[in-house]
Amino acid sequence: MSDAQSESSAETAGGRLVDVVLDEASIARSTPEVEHDRAVAIYDLIEENCFQPVGHPVAKFVLNLSVIEKKLVFQIQTEDDQPVVTHVLSLTPLRKIVKDYDLICESYYEAIRHATPSQIEAIDMGRRGVHNEGSTILMERLQGKIEVDMATARRLFTLVYALHWKG
């Protein structure tokens, strides 16, 4: 499915996230910096998203996220606490891309301190490319389960990155 098709199907689906709740039992608290990254990722995701569980009526949804045995658990309910569906995704297909993303982010933050603007821009373009690749993998993993557009997939990938690998 092309990005344009993915975006239009999610946009016409009509659902959206109104809250994201992290399971504190399975997602450990972390450093203040990581907690900030998580909070920003959640804020950005809630602020603007297209999120529609396949086969369910359009609604405003709450996403409860947990990580259990290297699997990401999406427990979805309506805004008024009615259970909708739970999906469990293996994190294994994301492992390499997250490692690559982590390395390029480290390079980017180092470059900000010491590199020329053109070097920073080149690293940032690479960073965005890897982020898009991770987002595409996440969209593919959600296909047939939850309709999201690319912007929502990017925000979800940012959150998954902040949750699992920095937590």
Domain residue limits, the chain: 3-165
pTM (two decimals): 0.83
Checking phi first, is residue 155 left (phi over 0); if not, alpha (psi -120 to 50) or beta?
alpha
Helix, strand, or coil (residue 71): strand
What is the C-alpha to C-alpha distance for residues 147 and 65, in angstroms, rounded to an integer? Answer: 17
- The whole-number average pLDDT for the span 34-57 is 92
Query: What is the Cα 41 distance to its own chain's centre?
Result: 8
pLDDT, tens only, 71-115: 999 999 999 999 999 999 998 999 899 899 989 988 988 998 999
Helix, strand, or coil (residue 116): coil
Q: Please give the structure tokens belonging to residue 39.
A: 């909070």
